[in-house]
Amino acid sequence: MLSNDSYDDSNIIMITIPFDETSSFKPGSRDGGAFIRRASWGLESYSPILNRDLTEVKFHDLGDLYLYGNQEKKFKTIERAVYNIIKDGKKVVSLGGEHSITYPIVKAVKEFYNDILVIQFDAHCDLRYEYLGNKLSHACVMRRIYEINKEIFQFGVRSGDLEEWEFAKKEKIYIKPNLMDKEDLEYIKSLDKPIYLTIDIDVLDPAFAPGTGTPEPCGFSSRELFNSLYLLKEVSDKIVGFDVVEVSPINDVNDITSITAAKIVRELLLMLG
């Protein structure tokens, strides 16, 4: 994805976040953003489905976010960087990295927009209160987000421990084992709020995305996911940012996962730009 536009001239700003310190099974997603960027060179800039070309989109790629210190300090860095982008009137695209990075991103988005919807595509609930003693684990990211923003929508979820499913039922969280459909979209449209979108690549079946830290069988095909994401064209003006996380190149096969993630990013850029 070639970015020829300056920061000031761009409507969308992209950053990569090389963080995977709480990965609970197979690490390696810290390199996800870099490999997504590299894989994008194998894709055309034109989308026949959307009939748009990336040359029509004003976006700027800031590259890797420099992180240092403990997890809390790194998350503060992420939050501050994203807030500054949004404060400048731009949409933000973040490439992970593991899923825990979505929490500081959403904190920054909420600080600016206050009342938002968070739409998640994921194989896992990510609603644990804590995991291995860490409340900021990638297994807890949606629990932390729910604590600061009750309006969350979870699609494609097919895995989680009993605590998570009981919590989701008790709190009446909008959680579905299937991907988003037109009925879901109509409900989301009716709420008429800014939207932040987070896509964990493991929402796909491992046959379509083997390069991820916690692959979960019985998932979705790439085509099924893209068809669901295309529904969001109707609310693209409401989307203030998105991330694609949990791409783990060291666990990939022939860059299948990185290329799929790159195409997801391309299509969403074309929808938002």
Q: pTM for the whole thing?
A: 0.97
Q: Tell whether 148 is covered by a domain.
A: yes
Q: Tell whether 111 is covered by a domain.
A: yes
Decide: 228 and 180 in contact? Cβ < 8 Å. Answer: yes
Tally the domains of the chain.
1
Q: State pLDDT tens for residues 117-137.
A: 999 999 999 999 999 999 999
Q: Nearest Cα to 234, choosing from 176, 265, 204, 195?
A: 195
Q: Tell whether 232 is covered by a domain.
A: yes
Q: Nearest Cα to 198, choosing from 160, 251, 144, 250?
A: 144
Q: Tell whether 215 is covered by a domain.
A: yes
CB neighbours of 66 closer than 8 A, spacing ≥ 6?
A: 77
Q: Tell whether 110 is covered by a domain.
A: yes
The whole-number pLDDT of residue 114 equals: 86
- pLDDT confidence tier of residue 268, bands split at 50, 70 and 90: very high
Q: Tell whether 47 is covered by a domain.
A: yes
End-to-end CA distance of the chain: 14
The whole-number pLDDT of residue 61 equals: 96
The whole-number pLDDT of residue 3 equals: 80
Q: State pLDDT tens for residues 221-236.
A: 999 999 999 999 999 9
In this prediction, residues 188-211 reach a mean pLDDT of: 98
Q: State pLDDT tens for residues 191-201.
A: 999 999 999 99
- pLDDT confidence tier of residue 262, bands split at 50, 70 and 90: very high
The whole-number pLDDT of residue 35 equals: 97
C-alpha 100/C-alpha 135 separation (Å) is: 10
Question: Is 70 exceeded by the pLDDT of residue 2?
Answer: no
The whole-number pLDDT of residue 156 equals: 98
In this prediction, residues 15-38 reach a mean pLDDT of: 95
Q: State pLDDT tens for residues 41-90.
A: 999 999 999 999 999 999 999 999 999 999 999 999 999 999 999 999 99
**Helix (H), strand (E) at residue 263:** helix 256-272
Q: Tell whether 4 is covered by a domain.
A: no
Q: Tell whether 254 is covered by a domain.
A: yes
Angle (nearest 5°) at CA 264 between 261 and 270: 145
In this prediction, residues 231-252 reach a mean pLDDT of: 98
CB neighbours of 186 closer than 8 A, spacing ≥ 6?
A: none
User: Which residues span the domain enclosing 225?
Assistant: 12-272
Query: According to DSSP H, which parts of 114-255 are helical?
Result: 141-148, 162-170, 182-191, 222-230
Q: What is the CATH number of the domain that holds 31?
A: 3.40.800.10
Counting Cβ atoms within 10 Å, is residue 152 exposed (0-12), middle (13-18) or buried (19+)?
A: buried
